[in-house]
Chains A and B, each alone.
Chain A
Amino acid sequence: MKSLEELKAIRIRMQGQVGLRSEDSTQTRVVVGMATCGIASGARPVLTTLSDAVQSKQLKDVVVTQTGCIGLCQYEPIVEVFEPGKEKITYVHMNPEKALDVVNKHLIGGHPVTAYMLQSSEA
């Protein structure tokens, strides 16, 4: 059985480091819809993929969070990206592969992935 001892080691390692994340004003928020509609269409693996990638690629200025029903159930799983000073980008019909693409091309590369974006004419 994995024990709680390891957690003590994490605490010792992390102490003093907490709070080093950037302030809200420079932070990019990645929001995943996690209501019944999102969950049923596959939001959980999308969320896990995003947060694992943000951690493994050490993206300190990015936070991944959850929200309820965005109101576009037919487009779920939906991922919204809020970058400071920029217009919100809404990605629709997401899956783990597309999520990784968004991390690499948009969050790291700075270029939103047009192919996965909600087109204004559709909404």
Chain B
Amino acid sequence: MTEISLNILDIAENSTAAGAGLIEILVEIDETENYLRTMIRDNGCGMSEDQLSHVTDPFYTTRTTRKVGLGIPFFKEAAELAGGSFRIESERGKGTTVEAVFEYTNIDRMPLGDISGTIRTLIEGHPDRDFLYTYTHNGCTYTMDTRQMREILGDVPLCEPEVLQYISEYLNENKQETDAAAEKEVLK
């Protein structure tokens, strides 16, 4: 994996496979405190204690097609190599929360990458699920909630190309504005 946002995409795909109806994705950058925090929280089927204890082992997977499961180990390794930390909590029937924190200026921190592309890809691939995305940079923030969009759209589905185009623009433009405002915060 070359981007943090690709790891987020991979972990959130697990959430959809776990049958989650709502997936919350949080990206928070704080340059003063020097961290980049990401969290993926779902209300899917969760894991048993036994599964949870093995989940960061690359040679453990619930799949039957092969013997490796690399998504979570990759993410954990990436965070820990960049002076950060990794946490996963899960409860059967309740859901799973994955949190990875990176030291923001660490030389080994991979770039955040195209996070807006990740969110768009998730919505496009799973228009029947809801996503609550929050991006925060130096205290400046914006959110995108598909439940709110669904309410406005009525019977027009989220996966209509025109709607997806709007979602892409919404994500990209609001990120640019949030980052621009965040730069000013740092200079204060």
The interface stretch among B18-26, B38-46, B89-97, B165-173 is: B165-173
For chain B, the bracket of interface size reads: 35 or more
Interface string of B53-74 (1 = CB under 8 A from A): 0000000000101100111001
**B121 contacts A4, CB within 8 Å?**
no
B174 to chain A, nearest CB (A): 6
Binary flags per residue of A1-32, CB closer than 8 Å to B gives 1, else 0: 11010111011011100100000000000000
With A7-B149, A66-B125 given, is the CB distance from A44 to B118 under 8 Å? yes
Contact B174 A2 (CB under 8 A): yes
B1 touches A40 (CB 8 A): yes
Quick check: which of A45-53, A79-87, A113-121 contacts chain B, the rest being far away?
A: A45-53
Number of residues in A with C-beta < 8 Å to the partner? Answer: 30
Which residues of the other chain, A, contact B65 by a CB distance below 8 angstroms? 69, 71
With A10-B166, A36-B70 given, is the CB distance from A18 to B118 under 8 Å? no
Q: How far is the CA of A7 from the CA of B167 in the complex (A)?
A: 9
A interface residue numbers (CB < 8 A to B)? 1-2, 4, 6-8, 10-11, 13-15, 18, 34-36, 39-40, 44-45, 47-48, 51, 54-55, 64-66, 68-69, 71
9 contacts between A and B (CB under 8 A): A11-B156, A13-B162, A14-B163, A15-B156, A18-B157, A34-B121, A48-B120, A64-B124, A65-B125
